[in-house]
Amino acid sequence: MHETLFMVLSFPRVVTSDNLRDVTGVEIAGALKNVLAIAAGIVEGMNLGNNSMAALVAQGCSEIRWLATKMGGKPATITGLSGTGDIMLTCFVNLSRNKRVGVRLGSGEELEDILSSMNQVAEGVSTAGAVIALAQKYNVKMPVLTAVARIIDSELTPKKAVLELMSLPQVEEV
């Protein structure tokens, strides 16, 4: 099996992967990580704490994996460096444009004001709308990522989104 060099990490170790053969998984993780980073930023902006952040990001990773798998992607891609590794970076690093948008939304700022003050693009803002369409098309429940889309569309406030997510019925973890 031919392996393709995928990523060089900052410490002296090269990681190879054949995940480039899973274009669907890489693309879905790469796009939806930005939406999840907005959610992570909202949690930070609302000062909900580390446990809430961990639960939200874990749920969001599951939602990305569920969708990618339904679309033909490989679960291993989502749980590997090109999926979860990239998601962690985007959700937890303060340089993340998408996370910064979320922090500001969670702090009570209006999206229009946030975007007009930025000189860079936060891709998750425009990608969020696709989440609802994809969730419906592939019949996948994605409560965290669709909540972000609804916040971006001004259908929901961050506070109401948290209340909705907290009141969802408990389901068995998959």
Instruction: Show which residues are catalytic.
Output: 33
Q: Contact at 8 Å (CB) between 25 and 19?
A: yes
Angle between helices 143-152 and 158-166 in degrees, nearest 10: 160
Q: Contact at 8 Å (CB) between 155 and 169?
A: no
Dist CA 90 CA 84 (whole Å): 10
Token pair recorded at residue 11: 């410490």
Dist CA 29 CA 80 (whole Å): 10
Token pair recorded at residue 4: 């393709």
**Helical (H) or strand (E) element with 131:** helix 123-137
Dist CA 86 CA 91 (whole Å): 9
What is the number of other CB atoms lying within 10 angstroms of the CB of residue 84?
19
